């Protein structure tokens, strides 16, 4: 079994970093199925900005595969990617909606406070199901205009879609068929919601995409699917990975409690040290590309091992140590290039608020199980559950 195959093995999900260290010894490693895995920081950054590397799987001719005929902009290249992303950004951030994310701060704090208040009458909680999941779901529902009451429906769909994501070509066609079957259900749900908003627009992003023009129906639905899933799945992992990291180091937890302002650089360090997105597995070489002395042939699938790159000792000193004050923290936690994470400002703020409140309000928190159970996905890595014992919950006004 290759090093990369071992990284993909769910048995190694709890601590893949020694394997990523081993993977970096061969910066560009060809796998048996023809995939090229790139694992060093400089080379990953180079490919993230290389127009010869496509994000559109329709450029890869694999027998038996039927790529999504209407992918969202994350699966497209310029100029189509740029057109759809720009139309979506009009309703999500600067320059057209500069105050949207920061304007959600009071609502984020209100929801977080309510969630943590709900832990007060017990002495153990699952911080994934009870805090890390509900907050980003509530926020993306509010932004998009998706009824939060429908959360159980799209939660199940999103979980099943994430479980089908993964690199490698040997079973990709089977995983793609499974993903499309679930995605069709989610697209059907969102398609109905789009029609309701078309008939009666509201003050939300979905209505904006419909009324502004420039997008076809299938593009609106594909964008909504992307934002609904990406808008909460990665943030769940960021929050859960953060609490796990802090609880493993009581001195760090005390330091963050004493100086709440440290949470801003601490979240950046989490994105480097325990990134919620570990791999990008959707790239395709449009022509022969030479990287680190290796020629990746045209048409080859490429995997970018972001988690390995962010811990590359050639890029960062003492990479296996969590340092909330690390200077010049240039990580790959949000990818890079034209596909730099659309929701980065939202994810940062959600993580900062939730982690601050959990650190401040939980009395003597400690892990009930270490390591916790992990989700199977090697791409979106995070605990399935994070059970924590504690001695009580501080009141909001303390």
Min mean pLDDT across 59-73, 83-97, 177-191, 235-249 is at 59-73
pTM attached to this predicted model: 0.93
Residue 46 lies in a domain: yes
Mean pLDDT of 110-124: 97
Predicted confidence at residue 155, as pLDDT, reads 78
Instruction: Say yes or no to pLDDT of 172 above 90.
Output: no
Residue carrying structure tokens 């429906």 = 153
Predicted confidence at residue 175, as pLDDT, reads 72
Give the model confidence (pLDDT) of 36-69 as tens digits: 999 999 999 999 999 999 999 888 865 545 556 6
Predicted confidence at residue 373, as pLDDT, reads 97
Instruction: Say yes or no to pLDDT of 156 above 90.
Output: no
To the nearest whole number, what is the mean pLDDT of the chain?
92
Total domains present in the chain: 1
Range of the structural domain that residue 87 is part of: 3-388
Predicted confidence at residue 184, as pLDDT, reads 85
Residue 7 lies in a domain: yes
Min mean pLDDT across 4-8, 155-159, 369-373 is at 155-159
Predicted confidence at residue 344, as pLDDT, reads 94
Residue 128 lies in a domain: yes
**Percentage with pLDDT > 70 across the chain:** 95
The CATH code of the domain that includes 43 is 1.10.630.10
Predicted confidence at residue 68, as pLDDT, reads 62
Residue 393 lies in a domain: no
Residue 36 lies in a domain: yes
Best CA proximity match to 220, nearest among 190, 186, 189:
190
CA 378 – CA 255 distance, rounded (Å): 31
Residue 398 lies in a domain: no
Give the model confidence (pLDDT) of 285-334 as tens digits: 999 999 999 999 999 999 999 999 999 999 999 999 999 999 989 999 99
Task: Please give the residue that has the higher pLDDT: either 214 or 113.
Answer: 113
Residue 396 lies in a domain: no
Residue 263 lies in a domain: yes
Min mean pLDDT across 70-79, 106-115, 145-154, 324-333 is at 145-154
Instruction: Say yes or no to pLDDT of 136 above 90.
Output: yes
């Amino acid at each position: 079994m290759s090093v990369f195959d071992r990284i993909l093995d769910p048995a190694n999900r709890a601590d893949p970093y020694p394997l990523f260290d081993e993977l970096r010894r061969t910066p560009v490693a060809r796998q048996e199925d023809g995939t090229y895995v790139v694992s060093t920081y400089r080379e990953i950054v180079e490919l993230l900005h290389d127009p010869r590397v496509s994000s559109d799987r329709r450029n890869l001719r694999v027998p038996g595969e039927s790529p999504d005929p209407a992918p969202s902009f994350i699966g497209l290249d310029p100029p189509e990617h740029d057109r759809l992303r720009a139309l979506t950004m009009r309703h999500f951030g600067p320059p057209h909606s500069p105050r949207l994310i920061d304007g959600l701060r009071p609502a984020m704090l209100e929801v977080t406070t309510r969630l943590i208040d709900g832990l007060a009458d017990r002495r153990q909680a699952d911080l994934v199901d009870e805090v890390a999941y509900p907050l980003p779901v509530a926020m993306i529902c509010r932004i998009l205009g998706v009824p939060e009451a429908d959360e159980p429906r799209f939660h199940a769909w999103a979980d099943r879609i994430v479980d089908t994501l993964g690199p490698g070509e040997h079973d990709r066609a089977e995983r793609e068929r499974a993903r499309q079957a679930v995605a069709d259900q989610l697209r059907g749900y969102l398609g109905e919601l789009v029609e309701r908003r078309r008939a009666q627009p509201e003050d939300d992003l979905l209505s904006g995409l419909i009324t502004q023009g420039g997008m076809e129906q299938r593009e609106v639905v594909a964008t909504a699917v992307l934002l609904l899933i990406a808008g909460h799945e990665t943030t769940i992992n960021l929050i859960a990975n953060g609490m796990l990291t802090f609880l493993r180091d009581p001195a760090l937890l005390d330091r963050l409690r004493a100086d709440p302002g440290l949470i801003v650089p601490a979240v950046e360090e989490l994105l480097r040290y325990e990134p919620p997105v570990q791999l990008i597995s959707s790239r395709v070489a449009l022509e022969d590309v030479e990287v680190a002395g290796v020629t990746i042939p045209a048409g080859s699938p490429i995997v970018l091992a972001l988690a390995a790159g962010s811990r590359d000792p050639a890029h960062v000193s003492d990479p296996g140590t969590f340092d909330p004050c690390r200077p010049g923290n240039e990580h790959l936690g949000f990818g890079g290039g034209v596909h730099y994470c659309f929701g980065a400002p939202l994810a940062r703020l959600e993580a900062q608020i939730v982690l601050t409140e959990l650190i401040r309000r939980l009395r003597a928190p400690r892990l009930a199980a270490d390591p916790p159970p992990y989700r199977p996905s090697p791409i979106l890595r995070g605990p399935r559950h994070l059970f924590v014992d504690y001695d009580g919950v501080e009141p909001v006004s303390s």
